[in-house]
Amino acid sequence: MIDLKVVKRTGANKMLKKAKQLTLNRVLTTLTKLFDKSPGRLQSKMEDEHKVILQGQGELCERTQQDLYQTLRKQPGMTFKFVKQGNKFVYTLCDGELLYQLGQTPSSVVGKDVREVKSRENVLYSLQHYLKAWEGEDIVQYEEFQNGITYMTSLRPIKNNGVVKEVIGFSMDISDRKVIEAEIKHMAYHDDLTDLPNRRQFMDHIFRKTKRGMKSQQEFSILLIDLDNFKQVNDSIGHAIGDDLLKAAVIRLKKCVASKGMIARLGGDEFAVLLDKVNGKSMMHFANEVAETIIQEFATSIDIQEYELFVTTSIGIGCFPVDGKCMDELLKNAEMAMYAAKSKGKNNYQHFDSELNKQLRIRLDLENGLRRAIENDEFKIKYQPKMDSFNNSLTGVEALLRWNHPELGAVPPTTFIPLAEETGLIIPIGEWVLHKACSTLKCWHDSGFENIKMAVNLSGKQLNQKNFVGMVKNILEETGVKPESLELEITESMTLDVEWAFKILKDLKSIGIKLSMDDFGTGYSSLNYLKNFPIDTLKIDRSFVMECTTNEKDAAMVKTIIKMAHHLDLRVVAEGVETSEHLTFLIDHECDEAQGYLFSEPIDASEIEKRFLKNVSANENMR
């Protein structure tokens, strides 16, 4: 008969009730203390510091044992013990809510071998871990799945003089945690906006494929896809429309690729497609087919709310292992091919080749040089005169940026301006140009030529700067130039976001700055711009002026623009005037000002002074 000296059941109950809040290991430690036996004595230290001392043969009295098992049965997990009998692992205890959720009861488990209890799928897996625990491994943890429930099991051996006498286990339902883990993993490897695989997943996939491909020589290709002009839409119309445009683009990409490969969003407006080789087709031919399908699919407009948007694609193709034997090399070369597609007018695809590598290295050198150009004083501003068409007098000049690269020499503006736009360097460069041009204008004004105006071109990125108007004000204050002497030239494409453009232009106009619409007729050409925006001047693009004396349609365009502008009380400047016939035509149709090589190519400020200001009296000023 067992002589029970002290029984503090409340201590055991409290300890087991708290098991739900403990980590799995702490629960197992607690249970091990509760069941740990040594000859003649069972000692367990409870969390409330009470002690249960049991003397005799090491068995709990019937009442205490019933209370304990009742407590175990109410726990959300499952507690069990087993011993090894020959080659069998026989359960001596098993209870808890999880046991019933798994479709079992204590009577269906206790006294049976693990092979009789576990499902065929789980029995070998469980046996491996049971054996580890019986051989004395301190804590054995593993996951199991049964009846739609994922649960974590932890085993700990109970020893007597270093010999394992039995093993106690505790299982906890982790189904909710597994769902959360799956969601977190999905978030980590998928794009939030489109739910496509993201850059991380794509890179992992390519890394594994290149590793396997080096052994198996299995070909595959990647297509890097950039949405042309997306940044312009995003910056001018807004990010909400931009997001919807990206979602619509994904639908089109999925239609083109379907089950042929994997699509990923690498970030911004850049996507990637991974294509495996198809039997009967070369890898290059198959990649070309998919690329052509994508380009054709994006040839039609995408309607987002009230906007009809045209977004084409530039695609770079890299094939493994021809264009790269490792992930980094393959991606780099495909990216080079994509940039080549952009440089060749966009809306096309290109394969990587060695000549392309050479061209893109030049581009990289240009970009790096562009970043140092201001600091190294490599930029110069040339000024092209604008003349009164009727009296041939100077009315103002247009500031035109030029770059003299220390190694490459003169770099055409058509080469470095788009690069500056793309890299965002146009922001500091544009500010430098504006400050330099205003400083030059102030010198001329101080010399007495106060009626000369300075025209400076703006980029879309500059107009979308939040502090742009403040920056212009600061430059005017620093240089001392009167606002009405500065003319800022914008293009039609920069005004796609009507509300934002109107606000900025209105703020500039309120300062007193003049505003000019450059290259009119070559962009979106909406009369609403002229009606709603505070424009002072229209500039007729040189493409119309060049053939206005030989092409009836160009002549009609020029005449129409001049008449329309005058009816709207706007001045008109014609660009690209190169012959006296051009000037005569413009005078006959009352064009206000002319600009072009007939009068002068873009020249240094000193040349403007010599050729156009030298013989003008400071007191007379320019008209």
Q: Domain boundaries in the chain?
A: 4-178, 190-352, 366-613
Q: DSSP character for 118? A: S
Q: Is 366-613 a domain of CATH 3.20.20.450?
A: yes
Higher-confidence position of 96 and 532? 96
Tokens (6 digits) for 370: 């562009």
Burial class of residue 374, CB neighbours in 10 A (0-12, 13-18, 19+): middle
Q: How far apart are CA 434 and CA 432, in angstroms?
A: 6
pTM above 0.85, yes or no: no
Instruction: Quote the radius of gyration of the chain (alpha carbons, Å).
Output: 40
pLDDT of 28 higher than 90: no
CATH number of 4-178: 3.30.450.20
Compute the C-alpha angle 567/572/573, nearest 5°.
170
CB atoms near residue 116 (< 10 Å):
13
Q: What's the pLDDT tens digit per position in 141-157?
A: 899 998 889 999 999 99
Q: What's the confidence (pLDDT) of residue 338?
A: 93
Q: Name, of 120-129, 500-509, 587-596, the range with top average pLDDT.
A: 587-596
Q: 41 falls in which pLDDT band (50, 70, 90)?
A: very low
Residues 6+ apart with CB under 8 A from 60: 2, 42, 54, 68
pLDDT of 19 higher than 70: no
Compute the C-alpha angle 317/320/321, nearest 5°.
135
Q: 140 falls in which pLDDT band (50, 70, 90)?
A: confident
Residues 6+ apart with CB under 8 A from 507: 469
Strand, helix or coil for residue 438: helix
Q: 317 falls in which pLDDT band (50, 70, 90)?
A: very high
pLDDT of 621 higher than 80: no
Q: 256 falls in which pLDDT band (50, 70, 90)?
A: very high
Nearest to 133 by CA among 88, 186, 192, 83: 83
pLDDT of 277 higher than 60: yes
Whether 96 and 172 have beta carbons less than 8 Å apart is answered as: no
The Cα-based distances of 369 to 216, 411, 458 in angstroms read 43, 11, 22
Q: How far apart are CA 151 and CA 145, in angstroms?
A: 6
Nearest to 107 by CA among 64, 73, 145: 73
Q: Which amino acid is at 261?
A: G
Question: For residues 127-159, b (16+ Cβ closer than 10 Å) or e, as one string?
Answer: bebbebbbeeeeebeeebebeebbbbbbbbbbe
DSSP labels, 356-425:
HHHHHHHHHHHHHHHHHHTTTT-EEEEEEEEEETTT--EEEEEEEEEEEETTTEEEPHHHHHHHHHHHTT
pLDDT of 492 higher than 50: yes
Whether 485 and 444 have beta carbons less than 8 Å apart is answered as: no
Torsions phi, psi for 311 (to 5 deg): -130, 115
Higher-confidence position of 64 and 254? 254
Give the least confident one: 90-94, 277-281, 333-337, 563-567: 277-281
Q: How far apart are CA 264 and CA 117, in angstroms?
A: 45
CATH top-level class for 190-352? Answer: alpha beta
User: What dihedral angle (degrees, nearest 10) is formed by the CA atoms of 491, 494, 498, 499?
Assistant: -120
Burial class of residue 32, CB neighbours in 10 A (0-12, 13-18, 19+): middle
Place of tokens 């890179």: 203
pLDDT of 17 higher than 60: no
Q: What's the confidence (pLDDT) of residue 407?
A: 87
Strand, helix or coil for residue 465: coil
The dihedral through the CA atoms of 594, 595, 599, 603 has a sign that is positive
